[in-house]
Structure 1
Amino acid sequence: MQKKLILIDCDPGCDDALALLLAFANEELRIKGITVSAGNVHINNTTENARKITGYFRKEIPVSKGCEKPMFRNIVTASEVHGESGIGKVVLKNTDKKIEEKNAMEFIAEVLKKTEEKVTVVITGPMTNIAVFLISYPELKNKIEKFVIMGGSSIGGNVTPSAEFNIYVDAEAADIVFKSGIDIVLCPLDVTMKAYITEEDLEDIKNIGNYASEIAYGAIKNSLEFYKEFYNTNKVPMHDPCTIAYLLNSEIFKGNEAFVGVELKGKYTYGETIIDYRNKLGKNKNALVLNEIDREKFVEMLKKAIKSI
């Protein structure tokens, strides 16, 4: 079986940590590198989390630090959701893994130049690194197979009434990515809110009893406490792992082709994704937008990965 070549651009982050564990546990993915953005927490924290998780489970995979702030705006973080460190109260084991000397954009360029096959880029945080790469290395755009992105929403936002967090943090960067002409698979809140973990699932994960389950349990429990307090629910959506799950088994998802744009000027709607399901704008469809998931199969995939890694 031919392995899928991927790069992961992330901002760990509780659910980013789950996405990394899911990717690391599945050998059908050939991970060429991890690049890190600011987002859920400060860039130093997201980079350290990526370094430690990768260093413990897949030390051979390079990790590169990216942009510390959005292209044109001040950074907005979500430490109230993810904790000050980014992964709640989880204390990650240290490793001797080093961060790459090249920054994220230079690293992506190097990987694409050296790889004959096209590479799929998974994005689970703000898109700053990828937008800056596209501007800096336009000649390498054709080396990207597609983007698989967690971001956006047509059902209302989770940081403003209309904007989803990853897009809101750097909407200008998202606009560049959506206009790139590269194939896009989008995992918006439309589908990720349906990819939830229950308290019963969380106990199952805890009982697996290995280090991966310790990380997963702590990360999900931290998010659960937030969702209980602010949304009065005991269901925790696993946003970022949906991207990896799609690559592993696209058949557990359903979606529609649509034009996706980003609102950059609205007083109340900055960062909103315009997902034109009904083709009201008459624009070319630039993304496969996922909106349904087989939750049971998704959760089973997560548990299997945590148990096997």
Structure 2
Amino acid sequence: MTSAPRRIVLDCDPGHDDAVAMMLALGNPAIEVLAITTVGGNQTIDKVTRNAQSVLAMCRREDVPVYQGASRPLVHRVESAPEIHGESGLDGVELPEPGAALRDGHAAVAIVDAVMGAKPGEVTLVGTGPLTNLALAVRLEPRIVERVAEVVVMGGGFPEANWTAAAEFNIWVDPEAAAIVFDEPWPVTMVGLDLTHQALATAEVEARVGAIGSPLSDFFVGLMGFFRKAYKESQAFDDPPVHDPCTIAYLIDPTIVQTRRAPIAVELRGEHTVGMTVVDLRGPAPEGTHTQVATTLDADRFWGLVEDAIRALSDAE
């Protein structure tokens, strides 16, 4: 763990698990959230942006700026996931009215400004939705590649998939954007389904968080209740995997998430495999490999971080 907080821009599409990622990032002193940027994914861009603002209101952190980004993928048609996240994108809870206004300007510009306005190596980009905004940012200002500390992505799998037989949702929605992000020579950590399917919100987890007894802990329990039902019906999970906060846990304490360096390519042309993340695990990674994949999660310590963050935010209410 580092003494100085990791400064991040969280690019997300809230989304139940994005909301938990926000709670973890906002409630842990090892992370400083410079901005929340939103991208169309789990629901439409207007809905996920409002959700981000509402989660900030729940966390009493309306000082964090929110910038709205891409409403659609670079090439593909718009696709969302109401069967997982509901019509609002955060079904299962009553969302508070956003208390802070949306900032002017596109999310991709905000990402560029955050990176270029900091010293090299100071800003980490975290993507927990489709990677459209990150791809637009790097095309808008290629110099951010040499200045970013790291790019941490929730997406992909090797070989786990969930939206098609070969692809995970975030990568499937905008595979061209994902290919841009993975191909640039900045350090990229892929936190895919093979790792996040270990982050299950069990009844014990819900009870531990619910025992905090605050509006925010009740909000978490409500989110997980809907998420459990949705995952049971759509993907036969008894307990829902809470994907996105695994990216934040990795940044807080990398020993919670084991990784392996390996080349990663995004399939763009396969008839049945578009959006597949092809991870080459044949022996040691070639010299100069700039990508790595998350493999194993310490689930107890992970949920301990989430519980502590919600407690800290609740105590600040």
TM-score range, shorter chain: over 0.9
Instruction: Quote the sequence identity (%).
Output: 34
Partner of 1:147: 151
Residue among 69, 86, 90 paired with 1:87 = 90
Q: Distance in 1 between matches of 2:282 and 2:288?
A: 12
* Residue 192 (structure 2) pairs with residue 188 (structure 1): yes
1:113 paired with 2:110, answer no
Is the 1:15–1:239 contact (alpha carbons within 8 Å) kept by the matching residues of 2? yes
Q: 1:51-86: per-residue Cα shift (whole Å, max 9, x none)?
A: 122244211111000000000111111111001111
TM-score, normalised to structure 1, is 0.96
Check the 8 A contact 1:199/1:234 in 2, yes or no. Answer: no
- Greater shift, 218-227 or 34-43, is seen at 218-227
**Residue in 1 aligned with 2:10?**
8
After the TM superposition, which residues 42-191 of structure 1 pair with which residues of structure 2 at under 5 Å, given as runs?
42-56=44-58, 57-117=60-120, 118-191=122-195
Q: 2:143 aligns to what SS in structure 1?
A: helix
The DSSP-based 3-state class of the residue aligned with 1:100 is coil
Alignment of 1:223-238 (within 5 A): 223-238=227-242
Structure 1, unaligned runs of 5 or more: none
Kindly indicate whether the alpha-carbon contact (under 8 Å) linking 1:260 and 1:286 is maintained by their aligned counterparts in 2.
no
1:198 alignment partner AA: T
1:282, distance to aligned residue in structure 2 (A): 6.5
Letter in 2 for 1:12: P
Quote the Cα distance in structure 1 between the aligned partners of 2:213 and 2:47.
26
CA drift of 1:3 comes to 1.6
Distance 2:219 2:288 in 1: 42
Indicate the larger mover: 200-209 or 168-177. Answer: 200-209
The alignment covers a number of residue pairs equal to: 309
Q: C-alpha offsets along residues 243-289 of structure 1, whole Å, 9 cap, x if unaligned?
A: 00001111111121000000001111000000111159979533121
Q: Distance in 1 between matches of 2:266 and 2:184?
A: 13
Question: Secondary structure of 1:236's match?
Answer: coil
**Matched residue of 1:34: which SS?**
strand
In structure 2, what is the equivalent of residue 38 of structure 1?
40
Letter of the aligned partner of 1:75 in structure 2?
Answer: V
Counterpart amino acid of residue 31 in structure 1: V
Describe the SS at the equivalent of 2:149: strand
Paired residues of 2:84 and 2:234 also in contact (CA < 8 A): no
Superposition CA RMSD, Å: 1.7
In 1, Cα distance between the equivalents of 2:47 and 2:212?
Answer: 27
Larger displacement relative to structure 2 (105-114 or 74-83) = 105-114
Aligned partners of 2:92 and 2:257: how far apart in 1?
32
Counterpart selection for 2:24 from 14, 18, 22? 22
Residue 200 (str. 1) matches residue 198 (str. 2):
no
Q: Secondary structure at the match of 1:175?
A: helix
Using structure 2 for the length normalisation, give the TM-score: 0.93
Report the CA distance between 1:207 and its aligned residue.
2.7
Could you report, residue by residue, the CA deviation over 1:106-132 in whole angstroms, capped at 9, with x for unpaired residues?
Answer: 111222232225210011000000001
In 2, the alpha carbon distance for the partners of 1:296 and 1:244 equals 15
